[in-house]
Amino acid sequence: MIESLTLADAARMMRESVKDRSYRATPLGLEVARYYRWKKNEWGAAADTLRDYEPILAKLSLYFADLELEAFEPPVGTERIREAWDHYWGERTPRTRAKVLSVFRDFFSWTVREGRLHGNPALPISTPKKRDVSRGVFAPNEVERIIGAQARLRDRVALQLLFRLGIRKGELTKVQFKHYDGARCRLQVFGKGGKIRYIPVADAALRLDLERHILDRQADGEEFLLYPERLGPKTFGGPLELLWEDRRKPMSPTTAHRWWVGCLERAGVAHQRMHAARHTAITELVRHSGNLKLAQQLAGHAWIQTTADIYAHLDENDLAQALRSLSEARIVIDEGA
């Protein structure tokens, strides 16, 4: 007697099918493999993007393991996608479902361009409405405390790149000395999807700290700003000392998270995600300039609507300031009358 398949067994089989890519033995999985090669070699997708896309399309392939690609011609194909979407991601957040839908749209858009399908079955599906997300920002005095609490110049420079230039965690870990152009006072930043942008280092304090750190290191341009290292006592009960480092290797995301938490703890500031530093930088730019195009450029967003959705709104402090200004204006008018 064959025992029934448990949810744990199903989940394990799903993970293994992605790991060993056995899902590609299905008709749809074969098309996914072709798309994957195109996405990597011709479109130039970053490794992180490929890792995000493959499990989603693997699930779709396994759910419809008996169907050929032609079975996904709309409108029937649209209903099939809705079925798998609901099966695997129906209880997930709107943000997650929207991401999955975007992967479906991209894959089937490729099949249309390749002449494999006549229409994209994912296009008629509406994008889930995302709930408002609380995007924390740091107060100006907190930013100064966090930066000032760090004994190492390296850490102060890295924090200023987060708080002044609004770069992402992944972008920060990719920064090497060769990416800073001292003659033009700008930093080359490698963003999501392999996109490259140049950000002016206009803040004098940041520019001086960055240039001084590069001179102090006396290293070639291949050195990373943040790199893995190990500290510990060389003798039992001795002081912490540097045991090992690799300046030519980027700091891993997990280590970068621990580095960030340590910076906040040294400053005695309540924990927030590192992404809050990015929100702080871009929010300050919007408040001071009122220019969403500049904020889009700093954020590295492909679409200005993305910038507007996140940063065009003002918070309670902005409302309080506006009401205070309005109240003061009324007092002046009353006194004048």
Q: Does 182 lie in the same domain as 271?
A: yes
What CATH code is carried by the domain that includes residue 295? 1.10.443.10
3-state secondary structure the chain: CCCCCCHHHHHHHHHHHHHCCHHHHCHHHHHHHHHHHHHHHCCCCCHHHHHHHHHHHHHHHHHCCCCCHHHHCCCHHHHHHHHHHHHHHCCCCHHHHHHHHHHHHHHHHHHHHCCCCCCCCCCCCCCCCCCCCCCCCCCHHHHHHHHHCCCCHHHHHHHHHHHHHCCCHHHHHCCEHHHEECCCCEEEEECHHHCEEEEECCCHHHHHHHHHHHHHHCCCCCCECCCCEEEEECCCCCCEEEEEECCCCCCCHHHHHHHHHHHHHHHCCCCCCCHHHHHHHHHHHHHHHCCHHHHHHHHCCCCHHHHHHHHCCCCHHHHHHHHHHHHHHHHHHHHHC
Q: Tens of pLDDT along 10-30?
A: 555 556 666 678 899 999 999
Q: Does 163 lie in the same domain as 79?
A: no
Q: Does 155 lie in the same domain as 302?
A: yes
Q: Does 283 lie in the same domain as 162?
A: yes
Q: Does 144 lie in the same domain as 101?
A: no
Structural domains of the chain, count: 2
* pTM greater than the 0.85 cutoff: no
Q: Band of the pLDDT at 39, cuts 50, 70, 90?
A: very high
Is 310 contained in some domain? yes
Q: Which domain holds residue 230?
A: 140-316
Q: Tens of pLDDT along 237-291?
A: 888 788 899 999 999 989 999 999 999 999 999 999 999 999 999 999 988 888 8
Q: Does 188 lie in the same domain as 53?
A: no
Q: Does 311 lie in the same domain as 169?
A: yes
Is 295 contained in some domain? yes
- Indicate if the pLDDT at residue 154 is higher than 50: yes
Contacts of 292 (CB under 8 A, 6+ apart): 286, 304, 307, 308, 311, 312
Is 58 contained in some domain? yes
Q: Does 209 lie in the same domain as 100?
A: no
Q: Does 274 lie in the same domain as 166?
A: yes
Q: Does 160 lie in the same domain as 82?
A: no
Is 336 contained in some domain? no
- Indicate if the pLDDT at residue 2 is higher than 70: no
Is 132 contained in some domain? no
Is 120 contained in some domain? no
Q: Does 162 lie in the same domain as 108?
A: no
Q: Tens of pLDDT along 221-233?
A: 899 999 999 988 8
Q: Band of the pLDDT at 324, cuts 50, 70, 90?
A: confident
Is 309 contained in some domain? yes
Is 322 contained in some domain? no
Q: What is the mean pLDDT of the chain?
A: 88
Q: Tens of pLDDT along 171-184?
A: 999 999 999 999 99
Q: Does 147 lie in the same domain as 236?
A: yes
